Amino acid sequence: MPLVADLGRAELARRLGGPGLLLRTGPFVSRIQSNISLVADGIGLMYRDNLIEEPGGFADFQVRLRQSTGLRRWWHPQVRFDHDGREPFAPLPLAQAWPMFEWVMNWCVSNRAHRYLIVHAAVIERNGCAIVLPAPPGSGKSTLCAALVCRGWRLLSDELTLIRRSDGMLAPLARPVSLKNASIDVIRAFAPDALLGPSVPGTNKGTIAHMKAPAGSVAQVGNVARARHIVFPRYEAGAATTLTPLSKGQLFTRVAENAFNYFVLGPAGFDCLADLVEGADGHEFCYSQLDEAIALFDRLAGVPA
């Protein structure tokens, strides 16, 4: 099965502008159509290691990002997202087409993939130890996730933890890591070899840049993992590196608060979350130094110092 990198820029643009590119990300296939060069360039760079399905095949999600027409094409041009004839998002400035694409991909999963319990959290794995990182915006979750991935941890997801309802295993969804504002320069300095896309200022989340998922993480699309720890990270300037245990009751409540579809799933969601919490240790984690944070996580995974 070919990769995005095998297509070449011209063929990639042709498929996006025509019948659509069938892009595989984790357990999903998305049919992506777009006439916007920023989208084509972003896919060609950030998803170059992802598999593509043959044209005309089945797709879980239909994603159409189009440049506005009429006077808008020339005066304050915009990008619009169409999903099965509806527009769930308000149009955004054309320069924000790539962040919008990533937000749209997250939206499709969190609103449609109810065969999973979906938690707003990063997931990384090393040495057979998967760690779930739920956290609100501004907590330093994505910065920590990116740093760990750049130091040998496998990326399962930066934004969406997919928990299989059948057995509680975590399904990989290795896509670009979203970095915001000061975190962009932090990771550029911390991991100069990491592939970061261009910074996009002025979004409703500030300046956004994405770090490409490592090829090794993308290739392990079928390798599920079991959560051993659930860690709520919080960056605090000058703070000591501390790991504080959570009770099972605290852990259940905190994870439920970060789940997109817990109430949608009803009793099945409760059972899935209860099994997840029962099999994992819960912690609050405060840090200010990435090297110290990585050393602590390596110890959790039993990695020799």
Q: pLDDT of 84-117, one tens digit each?
A: 777 888 899 999 999 999 999 999 999 999 999 9
Together in a domain, 94 and 157:
no
**Domain end point (choices 112, 139, 163):** 112
Say whether both 133 and 59 belong to one domain. Answer: no
Q: Report yes or no on 96 lying in a domain.
A: yes
Q: How many independent structural domains does the chain possess?
A: 2
Residue 156 and residue 242 in one domain = yes
What pLDDT is recorded for position 249? 97
76 and 65 Cβ atoms separated by less than 8 Å: no
Domain shared by 152 and 204, yes or no: yes
**According to the model, what pLDDT value does residue 303 have?**
87
**pLDDT tens profile 233-255:** 999 999 999 999 999 999 999 99
- Residue 94 shares a structural domain with residue 214: no
Q: Are residues 137 and 196 in the same domain?
A: yes
Q: Are residues 13 and 42 located together in one domain of the fold?
A: yes
Distance of CA 84 to the CA centre of its chain: 23
Within a domain: residue 36? yes
Does residue 205 surpass a pLDDT of 80? yes
Domain end position, chosen among 92, 112, 132: 112
Please check the confidence at residue 74 and state whether its pLDDT lies above 80.
no
Do 83 and 181 lie in one domain? The reply is no
Query: The domain containing residue 228 runs over which residues?
Result: 117-300
Mean pLDDT of 139-152: 96
Query: Residues 121, 200: one domain?
Result: yes
My answer on whether 154 and 282 are in the same domain is yes
Considering the chain, what percentage of its residues have pLDDT values greater than 90? 89
Amino acid letter at 51?
L
Residue 124 domain-assigned?
yes
User: Is 33 domain-assigned?
Assistant: yes
Backbone angles phi, psi at 180, to 5 degrees: -130, 140
- Indicate whether 156 and 204 sit together in one domain: yes
Confidence of residue 305 (pLDDT cuts 50, 70, 90): confident
- Asked if residue 81 belongs to a domain, the reply is yes
Last residue of a domain, which of 84, 112, 140?
A: 112
Establish if 305 belongs to a structural domain. Answer: no
Q: Which of 31-35, 66-70, 100-104, 284-288 has the lowest mean pLDDT?
A: 66-70
Whether residue 150 is found in the same domain as residue 183: yes
pLDDT value at residue 135: 86
The confidence score (pLDDT) of residue 36 equals: 96
Does 108 fall in a domain?
Answer: yes
Q: What average pLDDT does this structure show over 149-171?
A: 97
Flag whether 94 is in a domain. yes
| pLDDT beyond 90 at 158 | yes
Query: What SS3 string covers the chain?
Result: CCEHHHCCHHHHHHHHHCCCEEEEECCEEEEEEECCHHHHHHHHHHCCCCEECCCCCCCCEEEEEEECCHHHHCCCCEEEEEECCECCCCCEEHHHHHHHHHHHHHHHHHHHCCCEEEEEEEEEEECCEEEEEECCCCCCHHHHHHHHHCCCCEEEECCEEEEECCCCCEECCCCCEEEECHHHHHHHHHCCCCCECCCEEEECCEEEEEECCCHHHHHCCCCCECEEEEEEEEECCCCCCEEEEECHHHHHHHHHHCECCHHHHCHHHHHHHHHHHHCCEEEEEEECCHHHHHHHHHHHCCCCC
Flag whether the pTM goes above 0.85.
Answer: yes
